[in-house]
Structure 1
């Protein structure tokens, strides 16, 4: 797969040089079902070689035989077809709490694979931001070699049972290489009746297909689960899920709020009135939540076009896992794409979240 690198970011100009835990890493090596997208978890995650439950749901790569009593991890599927993005290439993800560093493997020109806490942006709400080295040294000549910009967001729940990681780069003309992982480290007990409400915050990154650059995003998320319905044709659970992503904010790579600038250019180019980034809404449909606590569904946001008709602003998918003895938290990833921002042919927002009951 050929990737076109943004000229400024990719220049190999030679210039003057200016003990912790590894929560994701172990199961990446143990799980045999990661050939289409590597991920990793703590050691108590089920990693045998069986067949995943609900195979018709096309769950992302990860735990082969998920069970409600065990941990589960999922990772972004790898895109390898001609012209595809570099989804799911990030592997060997781990966090070193003693040094507050983040390790990512399998991404070209991201330094020595160890990401340090961000400088201009070190956190987005409760989630940490990390960045790869800008230069490495040629071991023969001693000259510095400029690297491509890579960023990572790492989130862990207050209980420590749920976590996610997102790695993206704005150094390519198309989306470039990266990946995401989300997981729970223990089991879940799902109610058989009633409903539950979850609230949390999100953090993510926007990258562009047709332009370089990277932007950060934040938002609020509210989820509701109906544990009574729907039931699928086999009589097992397929619970309904509602969700809303609101108060969406966009920041540039230096941490400046550029939401109004983004909204303005979209409005002008499309002759529409937005006022803000529209709230994204989960599609309510059968079969979203399974017995293992895994969720998979679609999400969209809408706007009113110049003729007064409702039209799609973004569309994509959400992926999530419920955890806890009282199903008290949800960790997940939301990926949304839009073609309305004139900065590029399409824009992708990849965000992670932890929401609490």
Structure 2
């Protein structure tokens, strides 16, 4: 077994180890990265460079995010262990079965619905569902996945509930000084709701990111979009888009192209805003879903397979099916050339 250790966290994904290996644990620092390009990134590795291993984790917030501080994966029985979330079983998440075992290339796990009173053996109902998503690169660096991400969310609260996300790069990156590149891959996420809808939904799709490493003159230009989204309920039943009262709109979510403001750091980290629009009842375009993607470029983008991008999207929107309800969508990607 090998471990990737940092000053404040340990994060490792190993397909070969049978015992539980830490993904990230005892994360306490909320400091923003001290990068010379001043991106607004999640907390994690400090003093990064193009040659750095980098990990990022969700900052704690008033809505319950950022509470996941210790996760490990057990390859022998394909389970996750998740610490610091109340009433999520005995902290061991097992692989979901059927249509929800995998969302695209991302695996899905869930916590137990009940545990036993340690003294009497009586059943104790848990706050369900708690689910974990994880994605792992097809490429390796010194035996470890080159990139990976994990997302933990719950639909058991009358609000967004508690959870967190993490993503990382093992090994550095090589970025060009000119030219353009395109990356694409599967997108998978979880949707939770506030303030009074205790439910969880899943989303699949595709995502692409294009980078112009030469222009704008003030900053590298980044564009792209989340496309072909499909929504599913807790049982894996498709939520069909259309005009019915229970249908959910699924427009593409493009990256906002910005000139004059950094979107790509010299270390290979990305921070971009996303926003889409829909027609309201008056036929006027209005904002629908908005949020941010943060990620990391890994590998050599100038040769070979051309590197990859790992990252996490967080979107919020008004749910058109229910008055006064907002949806939070957290999705992860690993994109390839």
Q: Same fold (TM over 0.5)?
A: yes
- Taking only aligned residues, the RMSD between alpha carbons, in angstroms, comes to 2.1
Give the total of aligned pairs.
305
Q: For the residues of structure 1 that align with 2:136 and 2:217, how far apart are their CA atoms? A: 32
Equivalent of 2:317 in 338, 344, 353: 338
Is the partner of 1:301 in helix, strand or coil? strand
Contact map agreement 2:192 2:329 (CA 8 A) in 1? yes
Q: For the residues of structure 1 that align with 2:48 and 2:66, how far apart are their CA atoms? A: 20
Q: How does 1:22-33 map to 2 (within 5 A)?
A: 22=21, 24-25=23-24, 28-29=25-26
Q: What TM-score results when the alignment is normalised by the length of structure 2?
A: 0.85
Q: Deviations over 1:56-103 (max 9, x none)?
A: 422111101111112111111101xxxx31010011122111221111
1:199 aligns with 2:181: no
Contact map agreement 1:246 1:279 (CA 8 A) in 2? yes
CA pair 266-297 structure 1, distance change in 2 beyond 3 A: farther
1:306 to partner: Cα distance? 2.8
Q: Unmatched 5+ residue regions in structure 1?
A: 1-18, 38-49, 233-237, 268-273
Q: Deviations over 1:119-170 (max 9, x none)?
A: 3521111110000111111111111111112000000111120110000000
Runs of 4+ with >4 A deviation: none
Counterpart of 1:125 in structure 2 is: 104
Q: How does 1:151-190 map to 2 (within 5 A)?
A: 151-159=131-139, 160-190=145-175
Counterpart of 1:314 in structure 2 is: 289
1:85 aligns with 2:63: yes
Is the partner of 2:160 in helix, strand or coil? coil
CA pair 72-94 structure 1, distance change in 2 beyond 3 A: same
CA pair 239-21 structure 1, distance change in 2 beyond 3 A: farther
CA pair 70-338 structure 1, distance change in 2 beyond 3 A: same
1:59 aligns with 2:67: no
Is the partner of 2:21 in helix, strand or coil? coil
Q: For the residues of structure 2 that align with 1:231 and 1:22, how far apart are their CA atoms? A: 44
Equivalent of 1:293 in 244, 268, 277: 268
Q: Deviations over 1:26-65 (max 9, x none)?
A: xx45x7xx4339xxxxxxxxxxxx9621474221111011
Q: How does 1:269-308 map to 2 (within 5 A)?
A: 276-285=249-258, 286-308=261-283
Contact map agreement 2:179 2:213 (CA 8 A) in 1? yes
Q: What TM-score results when the alignment is normalised by the length of structure 1?
A: 0.81
Q: For the residues of structure 1 that align with 2:245 and 2:54, how far apart are their CA atoms? A: 41
Q: For the residues of structure 2 that align with 1:244 and 1:165, how far apart are their CA atoms? A: 21
Q: Deviations over 1:311-339 (max 9, x none)?
A: 11111111111000225200111111111
Greater strand share, structure number: 2
Q: For the residues of structure 2 that align with 1:203 and 1:258, how far apart are their CA atoms? A: 15
Counterpart of 1:353 in structure 2 is: 333
Q: For the residues of structure 1 that align with 2:210 and 2:39, how far apart are their CA atoms? A: 20
Equivalent of 1:254 in 230, 235, 238: 235
Counterpart of 2:77 in structure 1 is: 99
1:21 to partner: Cα distance? 6.0
